[in-house]
Protein backbone atom coordinates (compact mmCIF):
# COMPACT_ATOMS: atom_id res chain seq x y z
CA UNK A 1 0.00 0.00 0.00
CA UNK A 2 1.34 3.42 -0.98
CA UNK A 3 1.48 6.32 1.42
CA UNK A 4 -0.11 9.45 0.02
CA UNK A 5 0.30 12.83 1.60
CA UNK A 6 -2.86 14.77 2.30
CA UNK A 7 -3.73 17.86 0.34
CA UNK A 8 -3.05 21.13 2.15
CA UNK A 9 -6.36 22.97 2.32
CA UNK A 10 -4.64 26.27 3.12
CA UNK A 11 -2.39 26.04 0.06
CA UNK A 12 -5.30 24.98 -2.13
CA UNK A 13 -7.50 27.83 -0.84
CA UNK A 14 -4.79 30.38 -1.44
CA UNK A 15 -4.08 29.08 -4.95
CA UNK A 16 -7.74 28.93 -5.97
CA UNK A 17 -8.42 32.41 -4.61
CA UNK A 18 -5.41 33.85 -6.43
CA UNK A 19 -6.42 32.15 -9.68
CA UNK A 20 -9.99 33.45 -9.44
CA UNK A 21 -8.81 36.99 -8.73
CA UNK A 22 -6.42 36.92 -11.70
CA UNK A 23 -9.14 35.57 -14.01
CA UNK A 24 -11.58 38.19 -12.73
CA UNK A 25 -9.08 40.99 -13.37
CA UNK A 26 -8.30 39.71 -16.88
CA UNK A 27 -12.01 39.68 -17.73
CA UNK A 28 -12.60 43.09 -16.17
CA UNK A 29 -9.71 44.72 -18.04
CA UNK A 30 -10.81 43.04 -21.28
CA UNK A 31 -14.41 44.18 -20.81
CA UNK A 32 -13.29 47.76 -20.15
CA UNK A 33 -10.70 47.88 -22.95
CA UNK A 34 -12.69 46.08 -25.66
CA UNK A 35 -16.42 46.55 -24.97
CA UNK A 36 -17.48 46.16 -28.62
CA UNK A 37 -15.82 42.83 -29.37
CA UNK A 38 -18.09 39.78 -29.70
CA UNK A 39 -16.15 38.12 -26.86
CA UNK A 40 -17.25 40.91 -24.51
CA UNK A 41 -20.46 39.00 -23.92
CA UNK A 42 -18.43 36.12 -22.45
CA UNK A 43 -16.41 38.48 -20.28
CA UNK A 44 -19.61 40.06 -19.01
CA UNK A 45 -20.98 36.62 -18.16
CA UNK A 46 -17.87 35.80 -16.10
CA UNK A 47 -18.09 39.15 -14.30
CA UNK A 48 -21.77 38.53 -13.59
CA UNK A 49 -20.79 35.47 -11.54
CA UNK A 50 -19.12 37.81 -9.06
CA UNK A 51 -21.09 41.07 -9.13
CA UNK A 52 -24.21 42.77 -10.44
CA UNK A 53 -22.64 46.23 -10.34
CA UNK A 54 -21.93 48.12 -13.58
CA UNK A 55 -18.51 47.31 -15.05
CA UNK A 56 -17.26 50.89 -14.68
CA UNK A 57 -18.18 51.04 -10.98
CA UNK A 58 -15.52 50.75 -8.24
CA UNK A 59 -17.88 48.33 -6.48
CA UNK A 60 -16.98 45.73 -9.14
CA UNK A 61 -13.48 45.33 -7.69
CA UNK A 62 -14.75 44.94 -4.12
CA UNK A 63 -17.37 42.37 -5.13
CA UNK A 64 -14.98 40.54 -7.45
CA UNK A 65 -12.22 40.21 -4.86
CA UNK A 66 -14.65 39.31 -2.09
CA UNK A 67 -16.51 36.63 -4.00
CA UNK A 68 -13.26 35.24 -5.44
CA UNK A 69 -12.08 34.83 -1.87
CA UNK A 70 -15.32 33.14 -0.78
CA UNK A 71 -15.59 30.86 -3.83
CA UNK A 72 -11.92 29.92 -3.65
CA UNK A 73 -12.05 28.93 0.01
CA UNK A 74 -15.38 27.10 -0.20
CA UNK A 75 -14.05 25.08 -3.13
CA UNK A 76 -10.77 24.39 -1.31
CA UNK A 77 -12.48 23.18 1.85
CA UNK A 78 -14.89 20.89 0.02
CA UNK A 79 -12.32 19.57 -2.44
CA UNK A 80 -9.62 19.23 0.23
CA UNK A 81 -11.78 17.28 2.67
CA UNK A 82 -13.18 14.99 -0.02
CA UNK A 83 -9.74 14.34 -1.51
CA UNK A 84 -8.12 13.71 1.88
CA UNK A 85 -10.97 11.37 2.85
CA UNK A 86 -10.73 9.40 -0.38
CA UNK A 87 -6.96 8.91 -0.28
CA UNK A 88 -7.11 7.73 3.32
CA UNK A 89 -9.41 4.81 2.46
Dump pLDDT digits (tens) for 30-67. 888 888 888 888 888 888 888 888 888 889 999 999 99
Dump pLDDT digits (tens) for 2-28. 788 899 999 999 999 999 999 999 988
Annotate the chain with DSSP letters as a single string.
----PPP-HHHHHHHHHHHHHHHHHHHHHHHHH-TTSTTHHHHHHHHHTT--S-TTSTHHHHHHHHHHHHHHHHHHHHHHHHHHHHHT-
Amino acid sequence: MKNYSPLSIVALGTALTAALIVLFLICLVSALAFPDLPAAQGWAAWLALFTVSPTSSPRVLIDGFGFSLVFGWVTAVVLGFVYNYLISR
